[in-house]
Amino acid sequence: MEKRARIAVKAVAIIIVLLVAYALLPVINGIVENPPGAAYIVFPEKVSFEFERFVNVSAGTFTINFTIPGNSSFQTVTVVDESHYPKSVHHDYNKTWWSYSLSCCAEIKLRYRGEARLQVWKIENSEGVDAIPQSLKNQYNHAEYIDLGDGERKYVINPEPFRNVTLEATKDKPTVLGKLRAIYDLIVKNFRYQTQRKGLPRTAVETWNSGEGDCDELSFVFVSMARSIGIPAWVEYGQLYDGSRWGGHAWVRTVIPHDGKVEQVNIDVTVEVGREDLGRGFLIRDPYRFTEWIDDGNSEHLSSYYTYITYTTPPQFHYDESVKVIRMDEVGTERIPVGGTIPSWLMLLIVVLIIAVVIAIIARW
């Protein structure tokens, strides 16, 4: 009788262990998909900055547009026009821009002052694609083009050609978080970063075929892949401080459904391209950047953003730009662990072994 009682107690204990493991399955899945690591990066909590931007243009008649950054939880930025040329101010396409229509030669001087803040999204698990609102899918999950004029369009974002390769890369990832990380890893491991080139960016397909790209081109690849499997993603444009100067940059914005909400996050695929993949650009927005414009899914608005300058000749068109950093003040520090030092398969094996050992101990008790 006593032996039967002991067997019954052991069986109940094992069932409880399995039920607890089942209840913790979302947490376990998050640990497996984003394993802990021993590597850390250190960022300031915020950066206070000031810099001057000089733009020199020579052309017969030209129009040049500057997108003016807005304020958000990530940034507070003001821009002062110190050149005093006549300009028109526009508010449309989810952005503000200053437009200068001038003749011959001009040096436009703008002074930027502001504060940019670090943001780290600590999401350990997420739901599937079905948890993303349909309104966001309708807004973004399609191709986007840059209008070249005369009826010609350049489809820089094009989900359909990427669907099969993305399905294959994400087939073992049931959550949005896992799928986004798989896309990030694929791009980081297989592409080379190329500094920004003149002219319009290449399409996502052209970048994929070449195996290299600059910031907006690699972002187009990521966005195309994410959209191809139903995850809304889009490009965010702004300025980045690279340690010596400020310059134009682009990165990805997307959504992750988790814990009863749908959260917008940033991913920068250029941070680790051609280097060790620890996820330094994944769900981390460093304080060395600020946003100027965010793609809203409308190709006409995207085309407008890339219509930076229009001109007529003669004389021959000439353009150059320089930046003078006045100050960069860092405030506070935050130490951020970055995953990837433990492979996911090994993390899964460790979890299974822990559960097996607990059951074995109960069975021997």
- Predicted confidence band of residue 75 (pLDDT cuts 50, 70, 90): very high
Pick the CATH number of 39-44+117-310 from 3.40.50.300, 3.40.50.1110, 3.40.190.10, 3.10.620.30: 3.10.620.30
Structure tokens at 205: 């397909």
For the chain, the domains span 2-28+350-364, 39-44+117-310
DSSP for residue 74: S
**Which is nearest to 157 in space by CA: 211, 226, 238?**
226
pLDDT tens for residues 226-272?
A: 999 999 999 999 999 999 999 999 999 999 999 999 999 999 999 98
Name the pTM for this structure: 0.83
Q: Higher confidence at residue 56 or residue 342?
A: 56
| Ordered alpha helix ranges (H), the chain | 2-23, 25-33, 134-140, 163-170, 176-190, 204-210, 215-228, 299-306, 344-364
Average pLDDT over residues 21-27: 74
pLDDT at 1 over 60: no
**Which is nearest to 217 in space by CA: 249, 184, 246?**
249
Place of tokens 């989900």: 159
Does residue 217 contact residue 201 with C-beta atoms inside 8 Å? yes
Helix, strand or coil for residue 269?
Answer: coil
DSSP per-residue letters across 46-93: EEEEEEEEEEEEEEEEEEEEEEEP---SSEEEEEEE-S----EEEEET
- Predicted confidence band of residue 163 (pLDDT cuts 50, 70, 90): very high
- State whether the Cα torsion 355-359-362-364 is positive or negative: negative
pLDDT tens for residues 174-196?
A: 999 999 999 999 999 999 998 76
What is the pLDDT of the chain when averaged over all its residues? 89
Structure tokens at 89: 């101010």
Spatial separation of the C-alpha atoms in residues 149 and 225, rounded to whole Å: 27
Residue type, 83: S
Q: What percent of the chain lies above the pLDDT cut of 90?
A: 67
The torsion angle over the Cα atoms of residues 74, 222, 66 and 93, rounded to 10 degrees, is: -80
pLDDT tens for residues 267-317?
A: 999 998 877 788 899 999 999 999 999 999 999 999 999 988 888 776 678
Average pLDDT over residues 65-82: 96
Strands 192-193 and 212-213: parallel
Does residue 279 contact residue 340 with C-beta atoms inside 8 Å? yes
pLDDT tens for residues 332-346?
A: 999 888 765 566 666
Spatial separation of the C-alpha atoms in residues 209 and 308, rounded to whole Å: 27
Long-range contacts (CB closer than 8 Å, 24 or more residues apart) made by 5-10: 10/362, 10/363, 10/365
Average pLDDT over residues 131-139: 97
**Which is nearest to 76 in space by CA: 47, 119, 98?**
47
Place of tokens 């609102």: 133
Structure tokens at 2: 């006593």
Strands 88-92 and 95-117: antiparallel
pLDDT tens for residues 324-333?
A: 999 999 999 9
